Amino acid sequence: MDNTSLTTGGFTLPGEAGYETLTLELAKKWGADVIRDSDGTQLSSEITESDYDIYSTLCLVRADNEWAKANPTKLQQCCVMSEPVTADGETVTVDLLKGYFKEQLVINSDDDPKEWWQVFDRTSGEEVSTDCWSFDKEKGSVTIESAIKWHRYTVNFFCYRIWEEISMYNHVTNDWGDKEHLMPIDPIHPEARDQIREYLAKWLADHPNTKVVRLTSMFYNFWWFWGDPAKQRFIVNDWGSYEFSVSTEAIRQFEKQFGYRPKSEDFINAGLYNNSYKVPSKLYRDWMDFINQLVVSFGKECVDRIHEAGKLAFVFYNDHWIGIEPYNERFKDFGFDGIIDGIFNGFETRKVAECPAVNVRELRMHPYLFPTGVNGEPSFLPGGKPTEECKRYWTDIRRALLRKGCDRIGFGGYLHLVENHPDFVDYIEELGNEFRQLRGLHQAGAPEELPLKVAILSAWGNTRAWACCGHFNHGNYYNEAMESVSGLAAETVFISFDDILEKGIDPSIDVIINAGIVDDSWSGGEYWKNPSIVEALSAFIGEGGGFIGIGEPSSQRHGSQYFQLAHIMGVDREIGLTSAFNRPGFEVVSDHFITADTDASLDLGKTVDSIYLTDTSAKVLAAKGNSPTIAVNEFAKGRCVYLAGHTYEAKNLRVLLRALFWAAGKESLVEKGFSSNLYCECAYYPKSGKLVVINNSSEPQTTSISTASGAIEISLEPNASKIIDQPSPV
Amino acid sequence: MDNTSLTTGGFTLPGEAGYETLTLELAKKWGADVIRDSDGTQLSSEITESDYDIYSTLCLVRADNEWAKANPTKLQQCCVMSEPVTADGETVTVDLLKGYFKEQLVINSDDDPKEWWQVFDRTSGEEVSTDCWSFDKEKGSVTIESAIKWHRYTVNFFCYRIWEEISMYNHVTNDWGDKEHLMPIDPIHPEARDQIREYLAKWLADHPNTKVVRLTSMFYNFWWFWGDPAKQRFIVNDWGSYEFSVSTEAIRQFEKQFGYRPKSEDFINAGLYNNSYKVPSKLYRDWMDFINQLVVSFGKECVDRIHEAGKLAFVFYNDHWIGIEPYNERFKDFGFDGIIDGIFNGFETRKVAECPAVNVRELRMHPYLFPTGVNGEPSFLPGGKPTEECKRYWTDIRRALLRKGCDRIGFGGYLHLVENHPDFVDYIEELGNEFRQLRGLHQAGAPEELPLKVAILSAWGNTRAWACCGHFNHGNYYNEAMESVSGLAAETVFISFDDILEKGIDPSIDVIINAGIVDDSWSGGEYWKNPSIVEALSAFIGEGGGFIGIGEPSSQRHGSQYFQLAHIMGVDREIGLTSAFNRPGFEVVSDHFITADTDASLDLGKTVDSIYLTDTSAKVLAAKGNSPTIAVNEFAKGRCVYLAGHTYEAKNLRVLLRALFWAAGKESLVEKGFSSNLYCECAYYPKSGKLVVINNSSEPQTTSISTASGAIEISLEPNASKIIDQPSPV
């Protein structure tokens, strides 16, 4: 692959049989070096035998539906909580699948319900004895005897999943009609692994022109319950949750390895399941480890077969990505050659860009070439504005790409949908060239980083580096802050509370960010009850570290304060139990380093209310009524910034950047490659002697960039970038 | 006392020596029948020997400062938590009174600190062994050895209170300079009781012209910590809390009676103390009972002495009212002749009006004749608008007075302050006459009540009937709703969760209101974890009862939902742990009985966000973005209304009234004495054949009132009322 050209290469085009001319025309115009197929499209021999490299998608767990149909007990499973039913008498009957999509789930009655299932009285919180309930296989219901009137009952039960979810989504979204439903088989079973081995061998033989096997992905999809279509299409969707790796057989094998047996309630957690917002329990971490082992060991075997066939193995960082965990230790064992993810934002860009142990990192851009976009936008439907959409995403992605490079971009879906959008066709040509320019700069040498090391602290730590719960979760303080940080020239690491408990806080860290709300995995939840955590943070800050708390940092209903670092941040939150207390008044300090570039129009977006000063030491830089929204405090040798909210947006971004400088005690960094205009940012590539300046807004902007050799004035068209010769450092 | 005149009587005037002419002139103009003294004023013989009845204020616990000075160990006490100190090494020293007002508190070192005090590591939550700390009496500090660096430490210690708080407030507010500080003595000591007996006997002999002894009040003031004046004047102020009845001697006597000994931490509760927002613990209820016994038994003795002297005993429902508890069983034992409270609002009016076991109920109006009002308004200072203020309060009071009558009104303070406010002098004459008219109607016979029984459910129940934590706590859902209900023609009762556990729910109740936020005493906090509570409410609603939940009704982090009645209300709140779940969409229903009188301008004020529909059964009547603010649901035979907030204001009031009708299944009540204009209300007095219509707004209003004989059109001046002959019922 040519990776020095500025007009060709590093671009993956989705080809489409029946549109061979279009495929080859666009491949040329967009500078593609690779053509791929997608779910729902094939490549004809006219394409596969062209001069382009061929990526072929392959999803091993849904690849052979005949085998799946013949082996229904080897399908993937999951554990489900029925909708609660309120008892109106001593007997209550629960229709297990009520509210769920019956084309996705069927009840597993092969494994003895009395052994595997649990029935709960959710009003009392107590389990109902197995003697007191019975399962009616015919009706798909459980009947509870000696129920207590008015109590709510739920049943935890196991299901087979009979429609592989990504295929189901593509099928339903694109109206594939009576096309057969594909079913996912479970490699926890040796028979399923044998079948996959056999299928893969045949597939490799059948695809001589394929250069890259694009695995989408390995074996287990992220968690995605669908609802009764008449009432609610989607019930829950969590990119990070392992609920679809749960099965009776996996539990049996887990027990053999870990010496204890999870119960259904360990996966259900009273309806919370093990979702990404929940602080992971010890059991759930063990479960993730168990699944990770299986996925890596069998995954490596598959990758080895692909390599033996002379092909490369790229993995899609999505769909069936559960158990792959690129940021964990074992990932390198797979031997993947490349990783690809479908992304919209800066943080997702960094997630791909910093993925270890692969040679190729590829961004699959949006809009996906489907009539309706993955985020619900009417991209290629009447009224859709694919160019505008793509430009919006690219502007966010580019910020991050300035800091860490990727090797390739690409699209997916039905290529023919672009036919009616000549502006889109032209824009993608332009975008491809802009991407290649940035790639070239990174290839020559990394951009300058500020001497500022930022650690984002959550219960997940590096396991969910540059990730939250899927695509951008707007309004989530953690995700908003991470998106903002993704485009800053600061070294960024992700640390967990367990990291702190095990090895303390790395003294090279300048500032720790903790963002989230009470009890969630992002703020850290119950970890804040652990005195060792408070000690470690206190020592870090007290000895000169910086701390930025966003939303409800360090919050927990524990002890004599709600923010466990209230005494350090100088602010706490009134949660309604101490309303009789008077709190110190304050005046908003209008002149401060952190807010120097903003004015009263600064809007932090959604903010946490009822914040008060614990004493008179903190300074308030902004407030909504009586509730501070930005407050700064000094604690021993360290500095804290409290933000009642944060939204990824230019003014907030600037406040966060300055807060990082201030908290680190490195205010002078404002003189280093700083854009006077907050809608613009820049990066300096010393090896190339180039300064890249970007306009993040859809208006023209002029900015002055401070460099070692003086300020430079630059004007930029809407959303544009400029590359400027700059031999001396910024 | 003449209580039929419409121009004279039922009015208590604060007299002032040195202003005899003014006193007697205003007594005549305002139709006073009683002249009183106030804290800071005396009555001269010219006044006391006039034809007016004389009320004399008497506060027995601060009456004899010589005795107090001579008996410092008999002063009242309290338990205090020091400001937390963060350890910066192995030794940490806590300055006990740091941040507190040293003219209010002195450390009690007479009772052995090692026996009585407790030191806590608030980071770990653990108590520090008494071996590890020492008290330095000289410095007023505690030093902790073997502290853990970065942990926060507090000391629970006992103090004497050396400045009686009400007197302190009056002293400071009115700049009394070097006037001696009065100290409160504690009748827990037999010696103090003897002294009070002796003092009272002498006082009674010395006040031959006094007709009514106005006790302000009995022995223990509500909880009111003052702060270091340089930093924060008030630390905490809670009208309902018993913290100022706590002393070492009271604990000793409590132990003898109840068989267990409270620790300091039982009163401190990690800094929450036992404030009114906290769900009362069993120990705290026992403590209240213990203090109530003491106050009633010794209080009765004092009242008996007053009666024996041929005088009446009225009690002030404020200041040292702790332990009096008018709504509790023992109150009748006092033998009080009257009760008086200083009030601003409707709910406080009802609190006085419905007080049992007294003959006279008097409202002390505001503004108090002090330069600065009790609520901080500059009433009689330059810029003050006492007439406007008074009219505002009266408009709120009058709504409640329409439903339940009181016998008297009055003022307090320095009479001469009104001299420069002739408009105020005229307005009070008018107000007095309006009051007497309403009193006359009530005397002839009660107004019609709607056949609608409302129960307000909280952890406090009837013990805090028509009360919250002091004057109007704006923004508190419970207080806002109570204020709205105080002017409705519905029978209103207050029930507690313990009432429900002990005797179930009275089936004569039509609608239960639960308003508050998670964990607070108003919503009920941990009571909602008790399945018996959920059962009782479910049965009540399921069998046809109505339920109105405001804010976070039935909330608790327990089981599979946050609102424990979510399945009944049809809504729950997302608290950030299930953000991955999709929730049913909704359309706002614009045409509903509850919102029939309002439009998009309806503003519920502060509301709880992130509300979602649990399924598709509830109807949404209003929403802020994706979060419903008004939702209705049917559950079996009952009906529920969820309000995400409520503000005492005309449109909200109307929504609440209609919600009550709807929840009760009594929509036809809208035809009974209903004002078409939501700024007006009315009451019908069948015995007098009079309809009173009031204008609650400061604009002129016209309304149509529906009556049995057809609609009546009425026009009203701003804030005015009209009395209309209406022989047939409404």
Predicted-complex ipTM score: 0.95
Q: Looking at the predicted structure, is the pLDDT value of residue A1 above 70?
A: no
Q: What is the pLDDT of residue A3?
A: 60
Percentage of residues of chain B with pLDDT beyond 90: 95
Pairing status of strand A141-144 against strand A92-95: antiparallel
pLDDT recorded at residue A360: 98
Among A231, A275, A616, whose Cβ lies nearest the Cβ of B580?
A275
**Confidence band of B1 (pLDDT split at 50, 70, 90):** very low
What single letter denotes the amino acid at residue B119?
V
Token pair recorded at residue A568: 């350090």
Dist. CA A238–CA A236, nearest whole Å? 7
Distance CA B426, CA B387 (A): 9
Average pLDDT, stretch B519-538?
98
d(CA B224, CA B231) in angstroms, rounded, equals 16
Q: In sequence order, what are the residues at sequence separation of 6 or more whose Cβ sits closer than 8 angstroms to the Cβ of residue B30?
A: B11, B13, B428, B429, B432
Report helix, strand or coil for A47. helix
String of DSSP letters for B173-195: HTT-TTPPPP--B-TTSHHHHHH
CA B219, CA B292: separation in Å to the nearest integer? 11
Separation of alpha carbons B621 and B602, rounded Å: 11
- Is residue B156 within 8 A of residue B79, CB to CB? The reply is yes
User: Within an 8 Å CB–CB cutoff, is residue A582 touching chain B?
Assistant: yes
3-state secondary structure of B298: helix
Among the partner residues A150, A542, A559, nearest to B123 by beta-carbon distance: A559
Asked if A538 reaches chain B (Cβ–Cβ under 8 Å), the answer is yes
Q: Which residues of chain B does CATH 3.40.50.880 include?
A: 453-671
Listed in sequence order, the residues at least 6 apart from A224 whose beta carbon sits closer than 8 Å to its beta carbon are A165, A234, A236, A237, A238, A244
CA distances from B684 to A253, B692, B727 (A): 77, 6, 10
Tokens matching residue A620? 């308030």
Q: How far apart are CA B612 and CA B626, in angstroms?
A: 8
Contact with chain B for residue A519, Cβ under 8 A? yes
Query: Average model confidence (pLDDT) for chain B?
Result: 96
Residues of chain A with C-beta less than 8 angstroms from the C-beta of B154 = 560
**Contact flag B150-A575 (C-beta cutoff 8 Å):** no
Contact by Cβ (8 Å): A210, A100: no
Average pLDDT over residues B582-600: 94
Cα–Cα distance measured from residue B268 to residue A607, given in angstroms and rounded to the nearest whole number:
31
- Alpha carbon distance A216, A71 (integer Å): 22
Tell which residue, B495, B491, B485, has the closest CA to residue B461.
B495
Strand order from edge to edge, sheet including B141-144 = B92-95, B141-144, B133-136
Where in the sequence of chain A do the CATH 3.20.20.80 domains occur?
11-64+188-224+293-443
- How close, in Å, is residue B584 to chain A by CA atoms? 6
- The yes-or-no verdict on residue A238 having pLDDT over 50 is yes
Q: Are B305 and B201 in contact (CB under 8 A)?
A: yes
- The model's pLDDT over A528-551, given as tens digits with 9 standing for 90+, comes to 999 999 999 999 999 999 999 999
The residue count of chain B comes to 730
Packed helices A422-444 and A20-29: angle between N→C axes, nearest 10 degrees: 40
Coil, strand, or helix at residue B160? Answer: strand
Q: Given the DSSP bridges, would you call strands B619-624 and B627-635 parallel, antiparallel or unpaired?
A: antiparallel
A216, A342 in Cβ contact below 8 A? no
The alpha carbon of B163 is separated from its chain's Cα centroid by a whole number of angstroms, namely 24
A133-142 tens-digit pLDDT = 999 999 999 9
Q: Which of residues 83-122 of B touch A (CB under 8 A)?
A: 83-84, 86, 88, 99, 121-122
Distance, CA of A286 to CA of A288 (rounded, Å): 5
B277 to A577: CB separation less than 8 angstroms, yes or no = yes
Q: How confident is the model at residue B24 (pLDDT cuts 50, 70, 90)?
A: very high
Average pLDDT over residues B21-26: 96
* Gap from B279 CA to chain A (nearest CA, Å): 9
**3-state SS class at B707:** strand
What angle is formed at CA B273 by the lines to CA B272 and CA B279, rounded to 5 degrees?
75
Rounded Cα distance between A211 and A309, Å, is 10
CATH 3.40.50.2000 holds for B1-59+324-444: no
How far is the C-alpha of B365 from the C-alpha of B406, rounded, in Å?
Answer: 13
Which residues lie below 8 Å from residue B169, measured CB to CB, with a gap of 6+? none
The strand pairing partners of B627, in sequence order, are B624
pLDDT for B148 equals 97
**Residue bearing the bigger pLDDT, B281 or B599:** B281
Which residue has tokens 């036992």? Answer: B274
Token code pair at residue B20: 């005899």
Where do the H-state alpha helices sit in A605-706?
650-663
B295: confidence class by pLDDT, cuts 50, 70, 90: very high
Which three-class secondary structure string do you get for B416-466?
HHHHHCHHHHHHHHHHHHHHHHHHHHHHHCCCCCCCCEEEEEECCHHHHCC
User: How does residue A729 score in pLDDT terms, banded at 50, 70 and 90?
Assistant: confident
Model confidence at B584: pLDDT above 50: yes
In angstroms, rounded to a whole number, what is the distance separating the alpha carbons of residues A12 and A32? 6
* Torsion, CA B292, CA B294, CA B298, CA B303, rounded to 10: 0
Distance between CA atoms of residues B215 and B181, nearest Å: 20
Looking at the DSSP bridge assignments, the partners of residue B338 are B314, B360
- Take residue B660 and report the two structure tokens written for it: 């009550």
Q: Do B615 and A575 touch (CB under 8 A)?
A: no
The CATH number of the domain covering residues in A453-671: 3.40.50.880
Task: State the Cα–Cα distance between residues B39 and A663, nearest whole angstrom.
Answer: 53
Q: What is the mean pLDDT of residues B41-53?
A: 93
- The domain A11-64+188-224+293-443 having CATH identifier 3.20.20.80: the answer here is yes
Please give the average per-residue pLDDT across B482-494, as a whole number. Answer: 98
Pick from B243, B96, B73: nearest CA to A580: B243
pLDDT at residue number A692:
97
Averaged pLDDT score across all residues of chain A = 96
Helices (H) and strands (E) in chain A, counts: 18, 35
Q: Determine the residue among A82, A83, A85, A123 to mutate to test chain B binding: the one whose Cβ has the most chain B Cβ atoms within 10 Å.
A: A123
pLDDT tens-digit map of A375-422: 889 999 999 999 999 999 999 999 999 999 999 999 999 999 999 999
- Would the pLDDT of A326 be above 90? yes
Percent of residues in chain B assigned helix, strand, coil, to nearest 5 = 30, 25, 45
Q: Is A129 on the interface with B (CB under 8 A)?
A: no
